[in-house]
Amino acid sequence: MYLIKFSYYGPAFESFTYIKGKNTVVGTIREYLDRICENYVLKVSSRTDRNVSALSNAFGLICDRNINIIMKYLNTIKKPIFFHSYAEVQDDFNPRHAKCRKYIYIYDKKLKIDEEIKNRILELVGERDFSKFARKDNRNPVRKITEIKFHEMNKITVFEITGESFLWNQVRRMVGYIIYGKNDILMKSENLILKDVCYDIIFNKFFPENGNYDTFYLDFLVRRTIINYLEGRRGIEPL
């Protein structure tokens, strides 16, 4: 199995998961894999909500084609989705079993980080029941948050949240709680970015033959999302 990391701009797709007849992240990947792999198995690591972008999500792929051919072909997709690194793992490897996941949330105001906000951040770090911070389903609501950092950048505030795994809507509700002190506020999905899915694995970087490396830098979507958001645009442009 190949473990492939990829970036995408969430607002350019109708959904992450495959929906027949819809423009989705997984559907786009499957469409191109159908053309080059006679038989394949696709195992996605992290499902993201609609409009959420990713710098580095991951999926496992079992396919009878050479990995360089696969990476080259996937990077011909004419949508804001880029496949930037890969590693070879055992076929029974489960991409969902990641060491950690890191999310970035871009808040469109410069926030005064006072003692109340710092205390709410400390309250969320650690292992606890997050059922009040998530969309309810049948999964165990106990999750472990290992770190929450914040960065003030000109007119915006960026939160970086690291944990082993997350429930639906959990990160956006956590940010709402940090800022407003309420756990029922669901922050905008287009401001959320999956920064990385972490594994104890060394990945090989992949660069396209045309040498247009700029679009494959790992901070590409963050920069474009910030600029587009501040300028009131939802589209994505090449550098």
Domain coordinates in residue numbering, the chain? 2-97+200-214, 100-195
Q: CATH number of 2-97+200-214: 3.90.15.10, 3.30.70.580, 3.40.640.10, 3.10.20.600?
A: 3.30.70.580
CATH class of 100-195: alpha beta
- Reading the chain (239 residues) residue by residue, the pLDDT tens digits are 999 999 888 888 999 999 999 999 999 999 999 999 989 999 999 999 999 999 899 999 999 999 999 999 998 888 888 898 999 999 999 999 999 999 999 888 888 888 999 999 999 999 999 999 987 778 888 999 999 998 877 778 889 999 999 998 999 999 999 999 998 899 999 899 999 999 999 999 887 654 444 444 444 555 555 455 445 554 433 32
Spatial distance between the Cα atoms of 214 and 70, rounded to a whole number of angstroms: 21
**What are the b/e assignments for 6-39, b being 16+ CB within 10 Å?**
bbbbbbbbebbebeeeeebbbbbbeebbeeebee
User: What's the pTM value of the predicted model, to 2 decimals?
Assistant: 0.85
Name the pairing type of β-strands 192-198 and 53-63.
Answer: parallel
Q: What are 155's two structure tokens?
A: 């007119």
The β-bridge partners of 61 are: 2, 42
> Which residue is associated with the tokens 């690194």?
85
Sort residue 70 into left (φ over 0), alpha (ψ -120 to 50) or beta.
alpha
The letter for the amino acid at 37 is: C
Q: Check if the beta carbon of residue 167 is closer than 8 Å to that of residue 135.
A: yes
Spatial distance between the Cα atoms of 213 and 166, rounded to a whole number of angstroms: 32
Are domains 2-97+200-214 and 100-195 of this chain identical in fold? yes
Backbone angles phi, psi at 109, to 5 degrees: -140, 155
